């Protein structure tokens, strides 16, 4: 245990030095444009359409219900000290800016980390949206005054009614942590399944390798968003691309959307390594990969709305 503690302290010290160095270098670095730009206003309400906007942010039209997951759309994520944000800078721009978003019916927040819960972005979302978040995290954005905020703990579910119909959201445990700062480690963290019209989608948030069979407790998953980056040296909190595929297999996921890579430099592996390893891990089933680049759009085959 002492050896693990000393190693963790050393890694944290090295990481802080790297972070400070990166902040200095980033001040002059240009952010590359997103390679693709989705057109959500053209998406059809009788299908399931999803786009990866960058990092862990995913926009989904789920049979007419617009869902925004872990929205972080500005150039940096981190502590806001107006007019600056102190934190990592994007390498690739968000595929959509806040003013490009369609009407948002539901916001899902997996946990409170700055690269998943960005107050500046949340303030740009309509107050009419319903927010589902993890246990003991709603106080962070209490001042934004969304129409309805629901905190879910592991194995809890809720029925959300929107102007375009209902959706069932269920929270599950994986392997991460939920603190926003160093002192608030009481905060929860969730992965989510959401169901509507006979279709089942999921977003795991962040997770290290852990058994994921329970995600299939309601049946196979049509599309699962899985994190594939920031594993070196943070393997205790983030899975490798190969582990993400293994967990998706345990969850009986039909299609996989790789997220949490190419956007912010949060770890030591090369920026392009996660997606390269992910595609190699699925080289025998490449059709299962929903997309690989920021801004690409995926339409779930056979996703016709049922009664």
What is the pLDDT at residue 302? 85
Please report whether residue 285 resides in a domain.
yes
Give how many domains the chain has, as a whole number.
2
Please report whether residue 307 resides in a domain.
no
Going from the C-alpha of 257 to that of each of 52, 134, 261, 269, the distances in angstroms are 8, 22, 11, 20
With vertex at residue 123, the alpha carbon angle to CA 51 and CA 71, rounded to the nearest 5 degrees, is: 25
| pLDDT band, very low/low/confident/very high, at 84 (cuts 50, 70, 90) | confident
Which residues span the domain enclosing 9? 1-30
36 and 21 in a common domain: no
- In this prediction, residues 19-24 reach a mean pLDDT of 61
Going from the C-alpha of 160 to that of each of 74, 90, 130, the distances in angstroms are 28, 33, 8
| pLDDT band, very low/low/confident/very high, at 1 (cuts 50, 70, 90) | very low
Beta bridge partners of 223: 201, 255
Please report whether residue 305 resides in a domain.
no
218 and 109 in a common domain: yes
pLDDT digits (tens, 9 = 90+) for 39-58: 999 999 999 999 999 999 99
- In this prediction, residues 87-105 reach a mean pLDDT of 97
What is the pLDDT at residue 26? 74
109 and 24 in a common domain: no
User: Quick check: pTM over 0.85?
Assistant: yes
120 and 10 in a common domain: no
102 and 17 in a common domain: no
Tell me the pairing of strands 106-108 and 65-69. parallel
Whether 155 has a pLDDT exceeding 70, the answer reads yes
Whether 8 has a pLDDT exceeding 80, the answer reads no
pLDDT digits (tens, 9 = 90+) for 190-232: 999 999 999 999 999 999 999 999 999 999 999 999 999 999 9
Going from the C-alpha of 279 to that of each of 18, 66, 168, 222, 240, the distances in angstroms are 28, 28, 31, 19, 12
Please report whether residue 306 resides in a domain.
no
Among 280, 236, 237, which residue's Cα sits nearest to residue 258? Answer: 280
227 and 88 in a common domain: yes
Going from the C-alpha of 258 to that of each of 4, 54, 88, 215, 276, the distances in angstroms are 30, 10, 20, 17, 11
58 and 10 in a common domain: no
pLDDT digits (tens, 9 = 90+) for 234-289: 999 999 999 999 999 999 999 999 999 999 999 999 999 999 999 999 999 999 99
54 and 11 in a common domain: no
């Amino acid at each position: 245990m002492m050896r693990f503690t000393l190693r963790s302290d050393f890694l944290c010290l090295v990481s802080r030095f790297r972070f400070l160095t990166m902040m200095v270098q980033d001040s002059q670095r240009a952010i590359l444009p997103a390679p693709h730009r989705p057109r959500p206003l053209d998406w059809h309400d009788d299908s399931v359409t999803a786009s990866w906007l960058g990092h862990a942010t995913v926009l989904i039209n789920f049979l007419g219900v617009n869902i925004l997951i872990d929205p972080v759309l500005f150039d940096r994520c981190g502590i806001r000290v107006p007019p600056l944000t102190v934190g990592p800078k994007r390498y690739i721009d968000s595929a959509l800016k806040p003013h490009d978003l369609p009407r948002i019916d539901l916001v899902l927040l997996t946990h409170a980390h700055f690269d998943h819960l960005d107050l500046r972005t949340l303030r740009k979302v309509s107050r009419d949206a319903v927010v589902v978040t993890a246990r003991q995290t709603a106080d962070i954005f209490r001042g934004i005054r969304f129409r309805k905020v629901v905190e879910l703990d592991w194995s809890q579910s809720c029925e959300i009614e929107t102007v375009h119909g209902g959706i069932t959201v269920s929270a599950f445990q994986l392997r991460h942590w939920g603190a926003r700062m160093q002192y608030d480690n009481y905060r929860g963290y969730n992965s989510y399944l959401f169901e509507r019209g006979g279709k089942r989608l999921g977003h795991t948030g962040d997770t290290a390798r852990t058994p994921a069979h329970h995600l299939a407790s309601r049946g196979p998953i049509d599309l699962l968003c899985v994190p594939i980056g920031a594993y070196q040296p943070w393997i205790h909190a983030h899975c490798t691309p190969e582990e993400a595929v293994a967990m998706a297999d345990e969850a009986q996921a039909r299609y996989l959307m790789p997220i949490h890579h190419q956007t912010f430099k949060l770890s030591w592996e090369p920026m392009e390594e996660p997606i390269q390893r992910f595609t190699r891990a699925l080289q025998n089933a490449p059709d299962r990969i929903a997309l690989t680049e920021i801004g690409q759009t995926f339409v779930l085959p056979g996703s016709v709305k049922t009664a």
